[in-house]
Structure 1
Amino acid sequence: MQVNETLNDGLKRGYHITVTADELDAKVNEKLVEAQPTIEMKGFRKGKVPMSLLKKQFGQRLLGEVMQESVDGAMNEHFEKTGDRPAMQPEVKMTNEDWKEGDDVEVDLNYEALPDVPEFDASEITLEKLVVTPEESAVDEALGNLAESAQNFEDREEGAAAEDGDQVVIDFSGSIDGEVFEGGTAEDYPLTLGSNAFIPGFEEQLSGVKAGDEKDVTVSFPEDYNAAHLAGKEAVFATKVKAVKKPVAASIDDELAKRYGAEDLEALKGQIRDRLAAEYQGAARQVMKRKLLDALDEKVRFDLPPSLVDAEAKQIAHQLWHEEHPEVQGHDHDKIEPTDEHMKLAERRVRLGLLLAELGRKNEIQVTDAEMTQAVMNQARQYPGQERQFFEFVQQNPQMRQQLQAPIFEDKVVDYIFELAKVEEKPASKDELEKAVESLEEE
C-alpha cells in the first residue's frame, strides 16, 4: 500500500492511496482461510471445501469488502501517523473508475485538517464579576406578583358590566341545529374573560353582560377541533349570567405563603431571595462568559478551516433571514448568500468553538451521563404527555444528542477557565446588571 501527498496548502491536505492487486488478493485469501473450517458445501465434508472452489464461490463478494476495509485502514493509519484530524468528513474518490479484478485500487483522499490551537495562560486573563444582592423592593415586587397570580374574585356592585379580566359565573347549554350536544352543558361555571379558555369568539360576546342577563352566544368550532363530530360546526349556547366578579389580589400574609408551599410569609420571602440571587448569579455569569469569550477571541489566533467557516456563515445567514421573515416556514426560498458581517461572526464562532473543544480535550473535560440525562429531562418537559417519545427520539438521533451535549460541554470548559483566571468581584445594582445583559443582546 502506498500513500503519496498531493496537496499541502495551509490546512488543506490531499493524498493518493494505492492498494495493490496483490494486497487485495492476499486479504481475500486470508478471509477465506479464516472461514474455511466453518463452511459446508454439498459433496464436501465441513471444513474440507477446496480453496479454489471457495474463491470462485465467495471471492467476488469478499473482494468488495476487502477493498473498503483496505481504504478505510489506510485512512485510519494515515490519520494516526500524521496526527491530523479532519475538520469535516474527508472526500474519498476512487480515481480508476474502470477498475476490474486484478487491477490496483487508486483512491484520492482530500480534507481540511483541524489547526493546531496554541496554548494560552488563563491566569493572565482578568474578569469582572458583578455581584447583586436582592433588595427588599425586589422581594416585595415578587410578592406582589405572586399575590396577583393567586387572585381571588369578589362580586362587583349590582348592575356592573363585565370587563376583560372579570370572572362571570354562568349556566350554559350548547346546541347544534336545535339539538343539545353532549359536553356542551354546565352550571355555575366560573369563566375569566380574556383567558381564552373557551372556543374563539365565546368570551368576547360576554363582555359587558350583567348578573341576571340571558344571552345566546353563537360560535363556530374550529376545523381542527379535537371532537370530530363538532369540528367546523356552528353552535348556539343559551347562557345565563349568575354573577359578575372582579379580580382581587390575594393578601400578602401567611396564608398566601402556604398556597405556595412555604411555612409562613418570612419563609416565602427567603425562598424569593434565594431565587432572585440565583437569577442574578446566572445573569452575572452570562455577562462574565461573554467578556471571557471576547478576551479569548483577541488573545488566541490561529488558522481556521475555510469549510467550517463557510458552513457556519451560511447557517448564520439562513437563521437570521428566517428571523426577519417569520412568515416563511419552509426552506424553498432563494439561496441566501452570507455577507461580510456573517463571515466575521462565523470566524469568531469557529475560532472559539475549536479553542474550547481543544482545551476540553486536553484537560479530559467530559459531559457525564447524569448531566446528559438531566438535559434530556429538561428538554422533555417542553412536550407534556410525550416525554417518553422524546427520550426515544434523542436515543435514536445522534445529532440531537450532540445539540444537547454541546452547550453543557462549553459551560464546563468555561467554568474550568474561570477557575484559572483572575476574577474580581464588583458589587452592582439590579439595574446595572440588567443594562449589562441588555448590552450583550445589542452586540
Structure 2
Amino acid sequence: MYVLVLAVIIGVLLSLWYWKRNYPRSPPMYPGGLPIIGHPHIIINVDQTDDLYFLNIRINFLISGPTWRIHNKLLSTSFNQQVLNTFLPEMNEQARNMVAQMTAVAGKGPVDIKEFITQYILRSCMVFKVQFVFVGTSLGLESKHQDTIDNGYAKALEEILRIVGYRALNVQIHPSCIYNWTSMRRRELELVKIVKNMINPIIQKRKSELKCTKMYNYDSSTTVSGKFKPTLDLMLDLSNEQNVLSDDDIRAHLNTFVAASYDTTSAILHNALMALGSYPDVQERVYEEVQDVFQNNEELTKHDMSKLVYLEAVIKEVLRVYVAVPMVARKVNADIVLPKYTLRAGSICVLSIYGLHRHPLWGPDAKEFKPERWLNPDTLPTNPNVYAPFSFGKRNCIGKHYAMMSLKTSIAHVVRKFRITADINILKWSYEIILKPSTTPLVNLTLRF
C-alpha cells in the first residue's frame, strides 16, 4: 500500500517537472486553481468558455457556450427598443406596488427591504438574455404558475448558485471525482430535480395551449393582437417551426432567466437603494431630477428615460463600485504573454470584473463612489474593457438596455416617495456567484409626503 502511494506521489511530481520543463512560462500549477486576470489590455485576448465553469451542463441546468450563441441570434431580435418600450406600463405598475408595500413599514425604524425588491423583480422584470425580462408578461405564465416561480423555483435556483459559489472558492472540491461524493453534490441533484419538476409542467401546458389556439402561425415577434409575443411563446415557436430548441433547451433558458433576475437584478437594485441611502447629497440630486421629469404624472414614459441623466450615472456607478458578478470564467483563445508567465491557448482563466472596476485607469478615486464621473465622458477610461458590469465578449448581456429601464423606473418611484437612510460602507460581502451582503442590510424609509 505504501509503495503504491509513493509511486503515485512520484508520478505526480514527475508530471509537474515535465510540464515546467516544456512550458517554463506557464503559471504555477495548484490543485483546482485558475489564473485570474484583472487588466483590461489582456482581456481582449480571451474568449467565452464553451461551458460555464462548475455548472453541470450534462443536466442542462444552463445553456452552454456554443448552443447559447446559436439561440442568442434567434431570440435577441424579439427585444429591440420598440419591444422594450411596451414593457414600461408593467414596470410602472409593479414599481408602484413595491412602493405601496414599503409604505406599510415606512417610519418604523430599520427594515429589510430585500423581500419587497425580490417580489418586484420576480413579478415585473425578469432576465431575457442573461439579464432582465418579465415573468408574467414576457414569459407568458399564468398567475398560478407565477406563484410556483415565487415560492420554490427561483429559490431552488438560488440555492444551486450558492452551492456553485462555495465550490468555486474551495479548491479541495474542484475535482469532480471528489465533489461527486459530497453532500453538496447530492443536494445539488435534489435541487435540479425540483427545478425540472416545477418547470416541465408549465412548458408542456403552454405548448398544448399554443397548439390548440394555432398561435404557431403568427409572426415570431408579434401576436395577432399586435402585442409582442412572450419569450416562452417565442421559444416554443422556434421549437415547433424550426426544430431549433428542445424542451431541455427551453428549460435551460428559463433557468438562466429566473436565476439571473432573482439574484443579479435584485442585488443591483438593492445595492442602488443602499448607496442612495448612504450618500444623501446624491439621493437629493436624484430626487430633484425625478421630480422634474415626473411633474404630476404617475408613471414614467419612454420619453422620460433619456431625461434621467443623473440617475443613469448613479446606476452606472453602482454597477461599477458594487459589482453584482465579481468574476467570470473564460477560455484563452490565443497565447497571452505576461511579464512572468504565458497563459496557453485553450486554458481556462478567471476575469476579475471587480478588479477591472478598480483599475488605476479609473484614476486615484477609483475606489470612491462618484456618479459625477459619468457626466463627463472625456474623464472616463478609453479602454472599453475596464467597465464590464454586464460581462463582455460573445456571451455578454443583451438585456442591458432593458436592465437600465427597469432600474430607472423602480428607483425613480422609490426615491419620489421615500427618503432613504442606510450605510452600505459597513457591509461585509460573501461570494455566491453573486456578491451579496453576509449580514442582513437594513434601511430606514421616511415618507416625503
Q: Normalising to structure 2: TM-score of the pair? A: 0.22
Give the structure with the larger strand fraction.
1
Structure with the bigger RCO (C-alpha within 8 Å, sep 6+) is 2
Q: Normalising to structure 1: TM-score of the pair? A: 0.22
Give the structure with the larger helix fraction.
2
